[in-house]
Amino acid sequence: MSNEDIKDMISCENLVKIYKATDIEVVALQGLDLTVKKGEMMAIIGNSGSGKSTLLNMLGGLDRPSAGKLYVNGLDLLKLSTRQMVKYKLETVGFVWQNNARNLIPYLTALENIELPLILSGKADRRKQALEILDMVGLSNKRNSKLNQLSGGEQQRIAICIAIANNPKLILADEPTGSVDSKTTDLILDVFRELNRNLGITIVLVTHDRQLSKKVDRVVAIRDGRTSSEFIRKKSYAEEFAAIDKLNSEDTHVELAVLDKVGRLQIPRDYLDTLGLWGKQNVRVEIEGEKIILLNPEKTKKASVN
């Protein structure tokens, strides 16, 4: 099967990552399942320690899983040789970091920073391509500016230019708006949306900010190293732009709990706290019509999962 026939850009199944230090083992991912379609723009959210950055590092080829399956654009990342992994990182995936020091070389101009990955891949007409990419994000006038001459938002847009320089199939962005204000955040996310629409690049944003859900089609929440829930956009962007007041509504997505391949279902802690179920080892489970009912053995109050 050719890459063109593959519908999923990312496919993770029962993904496990264990870090070992002396006699201590830390389980960062414990059986995570995730599928991302080609051409999708989605976000992964979670608190610190949830495993989202660990997942991003493995998708970017910066780390390898301990167990499970991980495919990106049809490539089995667990089986790639060192040379194949270098090729993967150069041609398939582009990275945008929160820390601009990791994105840009400070003594190079904006244009030279964008040319660098083109030089490493041996592309011809590098200057022309770099100028075209700069124009795509509206920063042609900053071509000769260095890092200290650019605002935080401009630096991130240059970082996006670097990430797309080699025409990757997938962009991974780690907290790309974590160090800018809300206005600049909107601008950066609009750049991602335009690249997604116009170039068809699959984009995965990793963040702790749930407000990003308004700018993407799907949000996956990771809790305790597993996929716990998904937020799916209720309306198309065209419908929301037709009624602009709805764009700022909190109720743009519907939340779905995720049932994994072995039947595990994570219930948010605040739900369990409300019912007095947090910390319980045993919960009564009943079926009522099309509902699954969770019962506190010590109480009569019910919580239903449709």
- Please tell me the pTM assigned to this model: 0.80
Residues 159-191 pLDDT 10s: 999 999 989 999 999 988 877 788 888 888 889
DSSP per position, 243-274:
THHHHT-S-SEEEEE-B-TT--B---HHHHHH
Q: How far apart are the first and last CA of the chain?
A: 38
More confident position, 48 or 115 = 115
As given in the structure block, the two tokens for residue 275 are 């019912």
64 CB-near residues (< 8 Å, 6+ apart): 58, 77, 78
Q: Please give the single-letter amino acid code of residue 177.
A: T
Calculate mean pLDDT across residues 14-19: 90
More confident position, 186 or 3 = 186
DSSP state of 109: -
Task: Identify the structural domains of the chain with CATH numbers, from first to last.
Answer: 1-92+173-182+200-266 (3.40.50.300), 267-306 (no CATH)
Q: Is 303 exposed, middle or buried (0-12, 13-18, 19+ CB in 10 A)?
A: middle
Q: Exposure pattern of 276-290 as b/e (b: 16+ CB <10 Å)?
A: ebeeeeeeeeeeeee
- H/E run at residue 207: strand 202-207
- H/E run at residue 132: helix 126-136
Residues 50-104 pLDDT 10s: 888 899 999 999 999 999 999 999 999 999 999 999 999 988 999 998 877 778 8
247 band by pLDDT with thresholds 50, 70 and 90: very low
The answer to whether residues 175 and 208 touch, using CB atoms and an 8 Å cutoff, is: yes
Work out the angle between the directed axes of helices 126-136 and 152-164 (0-180°, nearest 10).
130
pLDDT at 240 over 60: no
- Distance of alpha carbon 109 from alpha carbon 210, whole angstroms: 34
Residues 125-150 pLDDT 10s: 889 999 999 998 889 999 999 988 99
Strands 302-305 and 93-96: unpaired
